[in-house]
Amino acid sequence: MVTVGLLYPGHSAEDDYQALAARLNGEVRLPVVTTSVGEDAHRVDALLDLGRAERLAEGAVQLKQEQPDSVMWACTSGSFVFGREGANIQAGGLAQAVGVPASSTSIAFVDACKSLEIYQVAVAASYPEDITQHFVRFLAAAGIEVVSTGSNGILTAAEVAMLTADQVIDMVNAADHPDAEAVLVPDTAMHTLAIVDDLELATGKTVLTANQVTVWKGLDLVGPVPSLPDLGMLF
């Protein structure tokens, strides 16, 4: 059994991972350690504070007790606001602290796209527009073109966690574009792991969600990613 340790900021949709682990009947362990949060806000200063090294280091100490095979910083905005270099520094710090390979959700999006040879995407974001543009630039730096965006202006992770499946599907459909090879849904505060297949059915194309790519990358760090049910084209 592979254990992917997850560092998750605060409390919003961490139960998405726990529900997935239960569905997989022990095939993959997904222990979650929640990190501290100063202010729950999709705002640059708050996100830089959310992802600072001290907060991650505190969580890493707890997560090490789970003896994970890999570690993921399960936060998109709290990684991409640091840029590619900053995100790599985050991941490197976690790897050093826990002693296993580590990455983050933002890096996972890039690696998942490249794994599927996807280079033109739409972004269906819960964030305000300025935060969405940080993600667009993060993707662009990796050679992934964003052909359309939908920014929904939701200010807190707590609010995002309350979105229904139908609301998420509507958000993804609204952001889609004919030129996009896939739609990216970048918020680990959004419950998506039970509806990835529904999102792909609604759009007729690959959909990559934050919690989905986080699990995928955690497995990818360990070895070949197993084929898992109901998790879309990526799996």
| 205 and 162 part of one domain | yes
Q: Is residue 229 part of a domain?
A: no
Whole-number pLDDT of residue 41: 81
Residue 51 lies in a domain: yes
Question: Do 118 and 98 lie in a common domain?
Answer: no
Tokens of 42: 């999709």
Give counts: helices (H), strands (E), the chain.
Answer: 11, 9
Q: Are residues 97 and 33 in the same domain?
A: yes
Give a yes or no: residue 158 inside a domain: yes
Say yes or no: 55 and 101 in one domain: yes
User: For residue 73, what is the DSSP state?
Assistant: E
Same domain, yes or no, for 205 and 145?
A: yes
Same domain for 101 and 21: yes
Residues 73 and 32 reside in one and the same domain: yes
Kindly report the CA angle at 61 between 60 and 67, in degrees rounded to 5?
Answer: 80
Total number of domains in the chain: 2
Query: So what's the pLDDT on residue 115?
Result: 97
Same-domain status, 7 and 68: yes
In a domain, 202, yes or no: yes
- Cα gap 225→28, rounded to integer Å: 11
> Do 148 and 80 lie in a common domain?
no
183 and 154 co-located in one domain: yes
Asked if residue 225 is part of any domain, the answer here is: no
Mind listing the pLDDT tens digit for each residue in 107-165? 999 999 999 999 999 999 999 999 999 999 999 999 999 999 999 999 899 999 999 99
Local confidence pLDDT in tens for the 235 residues of the chain:
999 999 999 999 999 999 999 999 888 999 999 998 988 888 988 888 888 898 999 999 999 999 999 999 999 999 999 999 999 999 999 999 999 999 999 999 999 999 999 999 999 999 999 999 999 999 999 999 999 999 999 989 999 999 999 999 999 999 999 999 999 999 999 999 999 999 999 999 999 999 999 999 999 999 999 999 999 999 9
Helix residue spans in the chain (DSSP H): 15-23, 44-50, 53-64, 77-80, 83-98, 105-115, 129-140, 157-161, 165-175, 196-203, 210-220
Which domain does 132 fall in, by range?
Answer: 108-209
Q: State whether 123 and 171 are in the same domain.
A: yes
Shared domain for 78 and 154, answered yes or no, is no
CATH of the domain at 51: 3.40.50.12500
